[in-house]
Structure 1
């Protein structure tokens, strides 16, 4: 069976830059910063008090009391993003299509807010009972399961947890399920809601968080900034989408994943380079075909220098002609959900010819001597883009997208 072509026919998001994919892309095009002071319980006990927090959000505006008892914040975000993506796609899952369509989502930690609240209840307040739905609420697959139930998705459905590469791994699996002919349509993406006292305190222990801003590739960077939110996409078989007259946003053309097999936290140039090269090989691309890379770009010295070195190795002389930016500078690092939100910037680059910037860039770093699209978005026509994700544990996942056919 010949491989099927895979296209994106819907996208949705909620994150620090906006409550929809459209709002998010407008904010990216404006170079807006969604990072600021956070509002969480016991924030005064935290050393780090900034993040890419979703603003002006109340669960009660979207869900009833019974749903809130069952949906952790990461699930709430995912359902809102899925609603937007599926409305845009126009797909209705019935009959044979419902039987084969599924959902693959990425999250690193699942229901962190639920863990946090119930640890407090048991250990701090001394209660001996928790809500009967604590396990169904905090489990990593909760969001995927609820999407399958809401939209009648009866095919392959599961959750991927590979730290910061979770979303890219999930979208890569969805891509392969459609390309192989197993399903004509998959709902995919990722989410994270780790901005709680316990979630931030755990990250503080690593000493990789910035106290003031995320400045990827800038010589004066001082760490990453956590974010939260979700992004969800509809991946669909090209002929199926074309037959129903769907608006095609972009084509997914390649995917690769590698393992550094080296260190639990320090990234490897070789592992990253093999993932980038693997995605290009899968998509049958030459270096000069690629115009833009959405970088993993966390704002830590270890990641930024390793990623730039990997890009330089793979692209050689073409590396100087590439644009590479990190939107984490605007929305923060969504950990397991980050690759999904960043794919919005890739679709925007292909569809609208707008390259999202790396904001907060102040000082050139000779070890990151690439065109990082500093501080202001740029208009440029690109035909092919890559999206990088490199996770703790040395797990790497890279997607390749092409302009809509």
Structure 2
């Protein structure tokens, strides 16, 4: 089968360290932490009392009252980020068949905030069933994809990918495949998540997956550090416009990079823990690179999944070592969840954006807070800590892994 080439022509971001693409990028390069005390609800009695919330974000500047009434936060984030990406891409639907433009979005939890609020109100209302007529459509995990389509008149393929914290990359991979198979010319893809709620924070805390460094939230996410103690929750959205290469050229579109490889595997090991030897993760990287016609020696930058959990970080390092072996290669690694926190189903989307902008600007963002690298990390694995690193980035790769054993890797290449 002849496959068409796929490029990225638009980017939008709404993150804990920036409410638009360029602010997010500049703060990532500056090593800004988005972690602070939770303001969304009273977390005083919780073991973890901090998270990476959005800052100074007024959704009413982006959406009208009707939109707000019928949408959960995760959908609102999706609409804001996708609006920026679509504007950035600059295509005109009036000159296109609307069935040639699709939306493949991702979210791990969907409208959990709405679900929690409505069930709490029911429980506090003496069992009176006074649910909002928007309750069901607000919490449905597919609704962000549907409303991006509705808002813009896109009538092509439309659905939501769900693979826990691998979701962002899964959505991008699906969009990549559908375009190269000739099923669409443009697809809006990415992910959004609004998981900073009592139920979500409480649930992950009960699993002992989150950091408890309440006195120093800005230093809590410490990927690869010997003292790491868990991840920090984040919220927001990342949006990418993927487009068939010739279609983009014909309309004179700006091109960030080409998507050249993508793959998924399953660990088949544990409900929530990654494979201790990183076997599934290593295979996902191998397959994505094989599809791209590249090897690990060709990769300049790897944005790791690295959430700052004791087991997960080393599992990913073992997966990388599986590909690298004992050779000293040019690959540079950073873990940007140290700044943004872990956006669950949106993590892959914002981390893909960082890969694309690293290619554009020839610099990679740092891993912050990591001051004492775990001694189990091999000496030939270079992790960029402290500050950003100027680097010619021609090939960038992004890893995401999710509960259930999902592994997803995306490879981008400069055009």
TM-score, normalised to structure 2, is: 0.95
Q: Could you tell me which residue of structure 2 aligns to residue 24 of structure 1?
A: 24
The one-character-per-residue Cα deviations of 1:192-241 (angstroms, maximum 9, x if unpaired) are 00101111111111111002210000111111000000000000001110
Question: How far apart in 1 are the matches of 2:328 and 2:150?
Answer: 45
Q: CA deviation at 1:357?
A: 0.5
The one-character-per-residue Cα deviations of 1:284-315 (angstroms, maximum 9, x if unpaired) are 10222111100001000111100001001112
Question: How far apart in 2 are the matches of 1:21 and 1:59?
Answer: 16
Correspondence 1:247-286 to 2 at 5 A: 247-268=254-275, 269-286=278-295
Question: How far apart in 2 are the matches of 1:79 and 1:257?
Answer: 27
Structure 1 SS opposite 2:351? helix
Correspondence 1:311-330 to 2 at 5 A: 311-318=320-327, 320-330=329-339
Cα RMSD after superposing both structures: 1.3
Q: Could you tell me which residue of structure 2 aligns to residue 168 of structure 1?
A: 169
Q: Could you tell me which residue of structure 2 aligns to residue 349 of structure 1?
A: 358
Q: CA deviation at 1:118?
A: 0.5
Contact 2:299–2:330, Cα closer than 8 Å, also in 1? no
Q: Could you tell me which residue of structure 1 aligns to residue 183 of structure 2?
A: 182
Larger deviation, residues 357-366 vs 317-326: 317-326
Question: How far apart in 2 are the matches of 1:253 and 1:96?
Answer: 25
Could you list the structure 1 runs, at least 4 aligned residues long, displaced by more than 4 angstroms after superposition.
none
Correspondence 1:148-159 to 2 at 5 A: 148-159=149-160
Structure 2 SS opposite 1:189? strand
Question: How far apart in 1 are the matches of 2:412 and 2:175?
Answer: 14
Structure 2 SS opposite 1:164? coil
Question: How far apart in 2 are the matches of 1:335 and 1:286?
Answer: 28
Question: How far apart in 2 are the matches of 1:393 and 1:36?
Answer: 29
TM-score, normalised to structure 1, is: 0.97
Q: Could you tell me which residue of structure 1 aligns to residue 199 of structure 2?
A: 198
Q: Could you tell me which residue of structure 2 aligns to residue 233 of structure 1?
A: 240
Q: Could you tell me which residue of structure 2 aligns to residue 58 of structure 1?
A: 58
Larger deviation, residues 385-394 vs 313-322: 313-322
Contact 2:363–2:393, Cα closer than 8 Å, also in 1? no
Structure 2 SS opposite 1:267? coil
Check if 1:392 corresponds to 2:403: yes
Check if 1:401 corresponds to 2:412: yes
The one-character-per-residue Cα deviations of 1:221-263 (angstroms, maximum 9, x if unpaired) are 1110000000000000011101111110111000000011111
Structure 1 residues 318 and 255, CA gap change in structure 2 (3 angstroms) = farther
Structure 1 residues 59 and 125, CA gap change in structure 2 (3 angstroms) = farther
Gaps of 5+ in 2: 214-219
Gaps of 5+ in 1: none
Structure 1 residues 54 and 319, CA gap change in structure 2 (3 angstroms) = farther
Contact 1:113–1:193, Cα closer than 8 Å, also in 2? yes
Q: Could you tell me which residue of structure 1 aligns to residue 140 of structure 2?
A: 139
Question: How far apart in 2 are the matches of 1:226 and 1:96?
Answer: 40
Question: How far apart in 1 are the matches of 2:10 and 2:313?
Answer: 31
Q: CA deviation at 1:320?
A: 4.8
Structure 1 SS opposite 2:383? coil
Q: CA deviation at 1:124?
A: 2.5
Question: How far apart in 2 are the matches of 1:391 and 1:116?
Answer: 23
Contact 2:304–2:333, Cα closer than 8 Å, also in 1? yes
Structure 2 SS opposite 1:386? strand
Within the candidate set 352, 374, 381, 1:365 is matched to: 374
Question: How far apart in 2 are the matches of 1:300 and 1:238?
Answer: 39
Question: How far apart in 1 are the matches of 2:151 and 2:327?
Answer: 46
Within the candidate set 299, 313, 319, 1:304 is matched to: 313
Check if 1:288 corresponds to 2:297: yes
Q: CA deviation at 1:47?
A: 1.8
